[in-house]
């Protein structure tokens, strides 16, 4: 039987063409994209598509778009073997993280890809990325079940878990990376899957969560951050959750004004999640006094979660409409393989 794949084309460089006047790249429609990859026919798959109207640069991506992608996948879930989302690279890791929380218990692949060079360019990486993403979306294991049963980013030589990924380069073809989790597959002459890192748990049931609450923000620590600025940020009207981007193993200043400003925010019911600014490694709240004092205020450890997963996890949890304590409890444990507990 021919594999049935649904492509959701959101836009991004992969389908862009040069504006004749400004020479800047702008999104173009899906038929242009497919005309440039005639090799897709060699795959002998049944491929349908849904496209954003109009397709967008992913810098314009927002939670309503994520709801649209989620609904498109949920509506078509039983009719396809796998899903490929074509997306700009700029916010791809945010979308991958959001979809991981919105589509929990997947037993089919949702593969997100795009490219650094438009599909119409001679040296494009788009053709290979699209074809490999389709092959991964159609791949079955020796047990007959889909090889990939989660949201993942395919880019150049690797397949990464979606909620563990980060864009790491604006220039290189290998533009994505998961700094705290191994790749799900390596792409070379063949596609080599890593059985230990893939989530192929049996008997999963899809649970769809469409609602997101954007009453979240982030605060980045830096030497020189002053009390007025910090208190101003913590007092942002309507804010329910804050990702606090800290130093090293989750450390922050020990100055009494800092600790008391953070403690006041926690006491007001704002949920603060501690995520390290380091690209690799984890928050270890009790390793240093500077981290220990912070965790004493009520700030929750984000362990080795990425910023992209942290902010979208908060949107998802507040979107569920559960109370403060339930949000805090859920932040302590992984929901979609987004973090490793110590």
Residues that bind ligand ASP (CB under 6 A): 12-13, 57-59, 88-90, 114, 116
Residues sharing a CB contact under 8 Å with residue 230, sequence separation 6 or more, in sequence order: 219, 258, 261
For residues 144-179, b (16+ Cβ closer than 10 Å) or e, as one string? eebbbbbbbbbbbebbbbbbbbbbeeeeebebbbbe
Q: CB of residue 62 vs ligand ASP: minimum separation in angstroms?
A: 13
Residue 218 phi, psi dihedral angles, 5° rounding: -130, 150
Q: What are the phi and psi torsion angles at 12 (to 5°)?
A: 95, 170
Nearer to ligand ASP, 59 or 142 (CB): 59
To ligand ASP, the closest distance from the beta carbon of 23 in angstroms equals 15
- CB of 10: closest distance to ligand ASP in angstroms? 9
Residue 13 or 51 with smaller CB distance to ligand ASP:
13
Q: What is the dihedral of CA 328, 314, 282, 276, to 10 degrees?
A: -120
User: Residue 119 CB, nearest distance to ligand ASP (Å)?
Assistant: 11
Nearer to ligand ASP, 18 or 57 (CB): 57
**Cα angle 120-170-214, degrees, rounded to a multiple of 5:** 105
Least distance between ligand ASP and beta carbon 63 (Å): 16
Catalytic residue numbers, as ranges: 13
Q: Is 173 left (phi over 0), alpha (psi -120 to 50) or beta?
A: alpha
25 vs 225, which CB is nearer to ligand ASP? 25
Q: ∠90-91-96 over CA atoms, to 5°?
A: 135
CB closer to ligand ASP out of 59 and 195: 59
Cβ burial, residue 103 (10 Å; 0-12/13-18/19+)? buried
How is 246-298 classified by DSSP, letter by letter? Answer: EBTTTB----HHHHHHHHHHHHTT-EEEEEESSSSS---TTSSHHHHHHHTTT
Residue nearest to ligand ASP (CB): 88
Smaller CB distance to ligand ASP: residue 63 or 291? 63
- In the complex, the smallest distance separating the C-beta of residue 85 from ligand ASP, rounded to whole angstroms, is 13
Q: Are strands 4-11 and 46-56 parallel, antiparallel or unpaired?
A: parallel
């Amino acid at each position: 039987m021919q594999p049935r794949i649904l492509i959701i084309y959101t836009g991004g460089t992969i389908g862009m063409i040069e504006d004749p006047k400004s020479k800047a790249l702008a999104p173009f429609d899906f038929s242009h994209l497919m005309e440039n990859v005639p090799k897709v026919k060699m795959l002998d798959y049944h491929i349908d598509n849904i496209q954003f109207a109009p397709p967008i640069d992913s810098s314009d991506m927002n939670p309503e778009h994520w709801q649209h992608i989620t609904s498109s996948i949920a509506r078509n879930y039983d009719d396809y073997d796998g899903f490929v989302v074509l997306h700009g690279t700029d916010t791809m890791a945010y979308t991958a993280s959001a979809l991981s929380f919105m589509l929990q218990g997947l037993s089919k692949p949702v593969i997100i890809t795009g490219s650094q060079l438009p599909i119409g360019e001679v040296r494009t990486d788009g053709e290979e990325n699209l074809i490999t993403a389709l092959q991964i979306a159609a791949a079955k294991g020796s047990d007959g079940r889909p090889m990939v049963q989660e949201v993942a980013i395919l880019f150049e030589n690797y397949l990464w878990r979606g909620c563990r990924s980060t864009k790491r380069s604006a220039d290189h073809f290998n533009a994505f990376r998961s700094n705290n989790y191994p790749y799900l597959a390596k792409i070379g002459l063949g596609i080599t899957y890593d059985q230990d890192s893939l989530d192929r748990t049996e008997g999963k049931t899809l649970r769809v969560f469409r609602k997101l609450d954007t009453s979240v923000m982030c605060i980045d620590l830096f030497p020189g951050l002053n009390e007025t600025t910090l208190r101003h940020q913590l007092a942002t009207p309507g804010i329910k959750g804050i990702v606090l981007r800290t130093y090293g193993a989750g450390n922050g200043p020990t100055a009494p004004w800092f600790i008391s400003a953070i403690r006041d925010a926690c006491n007001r019911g704002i949920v603060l999640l501690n995520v390290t600014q380091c690209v690799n490694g984890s928050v270890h709240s009790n390793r240093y006094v500077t981290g220990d004092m912070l965790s004493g205020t009520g700030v929750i450890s984000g362990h080795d979660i990425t910023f992209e997963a942290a902010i979208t996890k908060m949107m998802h949890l507040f979107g569920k409409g559960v109370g403060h304590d339930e949000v805090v409890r859920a932040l302590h444990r992984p929901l979609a393989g987004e973090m490793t507990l110590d």
